[in-house]
Amino acid sequence: MKKDNKKFTKKDNFKKHSFEKPMRTFVRKKIGDINSPEGHFEIVGKVNRVAQTAGPTVFVVSDGTGSLPLKGFVGAGARAYPEIEEGDCIKAQVNLDEFNGETEGDIIKITKLSEAENIEFLREIEQIEKERAKVIPPEFLVQDRILDKLKDSFIEAATQIKLAVIQDRPVIIRHHNDTDGYSSGFALERAILPLIEKQHNSEKAEWEFFTRAPCSAPFYEIDDSIRDTALSLRNVAKFSNKMPLIIIADNGSSPEDLMAIKQGKIHGADFIIIDHHYFETDVISPEVLVHINPFLVGEDGSRFSAGMLCTELARFVNPNVKNVEQIPALAGFADRIDLGNPEVMEQYLAIAERNGYTRELLADISLMIDYISSKIKFMEVREYIEVLFGEPRDKQKALVELLAPHIHQLDAKALKMGKSNVKIEKIKNTTLQLLYFAEFFPGFGFFPKPGRIVGLVHDNIQVEKNVTNLVTVGVLETSATIRATDESNFSVHELIKFIDEKLPDSFVDGGGHKNAGSITFLPNKQKEIVELIKEFIKSRQ
């Protein structure tokens, strides 16, 4: 009988231990150290977002090293763990899995931290974020005193950009709608996107936390600001997103930008400006996190384009940024920086040539960007822009070979149109060329646009007739585009002051560089404006 009891006990124990689930051990792990969508861990983090889907409730948590979505499910569309809210610091036991290519954690257990734990954890996060956002300044690609003077601003801007990514804050880049503007936006995009992907361990995050789009005017106007703000507020309400960090490149330094920036700030957006255009009074710096412009350090913005500045900044943001070293030469030549700073341009060109880009190829790419941007208007078209900038290089080459000859033909046609319709007169020692676009321009959709035609006609007469003291003005109904040589002693900024004093009811406005810019005015003042331009040229002799 005793023997039978022993057998029964052994058999009973065998059944019990053979079918009982083993106890799981949840090892605490930093989110940034997760490199596989498998395993079960304990995560401690701050809840940045709570999103209710048609299935689970998703809690996006961050611990300073990265972000991770945690899923809680109690029923289709039902709110799981209602006691856990945005801003809470939590401890969660999770099983990792993968959903649509993104690592997620299935919640086994989740609790709020105690008050003491909460304080200590927030202090720890702050320290981690500060350390991760720290910038180790690289050597500039070229040597120039302007870059040296702007170095501290580069460090501060890069720090703020990295902090935005680390804190799960969306980034919006707005840039001018030309080669220099696109170069600026693309260089920063190449630096920021890998940081966003790493932060969220997801390629999809690049679309949720980053937007780049050209401005619909040569400044950040209120229309763009309201659109950016309205879309951001929708994402705050719908997805618990944070309000964005908005970077304005190749725009942003003028009084025309001020209202749009202030409008965004009212709703919680912050701003960084990287520009090189002239301003008479700095009204922007007090309103933004960082304002980078050569004029702020006593230098001339015509010596560095925004694309050059943004490429240098991109290397501060991300030392491993790829495919940007040719951009300063591309942007610089497109913005005629070779006229104001030939030594630096030669350095940037040498770097571009080492990467397989000749000056001729850069010119064709710039031409292609101008052409494409006139067709896509103000769409983001991220993948198409990547091809224009050489991702991949074989497609870029094929596109240049296809489009460049066609665009050169369009330029040649436009130059003939301009030459046959230009009105030339001599004002003392200065040659003035006037193009009245209402008389010959085919209209909407025609390429090149009036500004480019002015440049073509302006350059052509210098080559064909060796005219060196020259001002060329393209006159439209409510605006004028101006190009001038150094010898003409012209200044767009002084012209605006001159017209404002002589004809205040024209409500003249505008900006740009000393020898290249544009002005706007009331349509009924066009003839008087042209006469005042002539008077201004005469006064500068």
- Predicted local distance difference test score (pLDDT) of residue 17: 43
Look at domain 135-324 and name its CATH class: alpha beta
User: Which among 290, 46, 67 is positioned nearest to 165, based on CA atoms?
Assistant: 67
CA end-to-end span of the chain: 126
- Domain ranges in the chain are 27-131, 135-324, 422-539
| Structural domain 27-131, CATH architecture | Beta Barrel (2.40)
Three-state DSSP state, 44: strand
Q: Which amino acid type is present at position 95?
A: N
Matching residue, tokens 């980034």: 171
Contact 57, 70 (CB under 8 A): no
pLDDT tens by residue, 365-417: 999 999 999 998 888 899 999 999 999 999 999 999 999 999 999 999 999 99
Neighbouring CB atoms inside 10 A of 411's CB total 19
Residues of the chain whose pLDDT is less than 50?
1-21
- Predicted local distance difference test score (pLDDT) of residue 328: 98
Three-state DSSP state, 325: coil
Which H or E run includes 92? strand 89-99
pTM for the model stands at 0.89
- Predicted local distance difference test score (pLDDT) of residue 441: 96
Query: How many angstroms separate the CA atoms of 190 and 251, rounded?
Result: 20
- Predicted local distance difference test score (pLDDT) of residue 23: 56
Same fold? 27-131, 422-539: no
User: Which among 445, 359, 367 is positioned nearest to 412, based on CA atoms?
Assistant: 367
Contact 453, 502 (CB under 8 A): no
- Predicted local distance difference test score (pLDDT) of residue 55: 94
Q: Which CATH number fits domain 422-539: 3.10.310.40, 3.40.50.970, 3.40.50.1820, 1.10.10.10?
A: 3.10.310.40
Q: What's the token pair of residue 443?
A: 């209209």
Percent of the chain with pLDDT over 70: 96
CA atoms within 13 Å, Cβ hemisphere of 399:
21
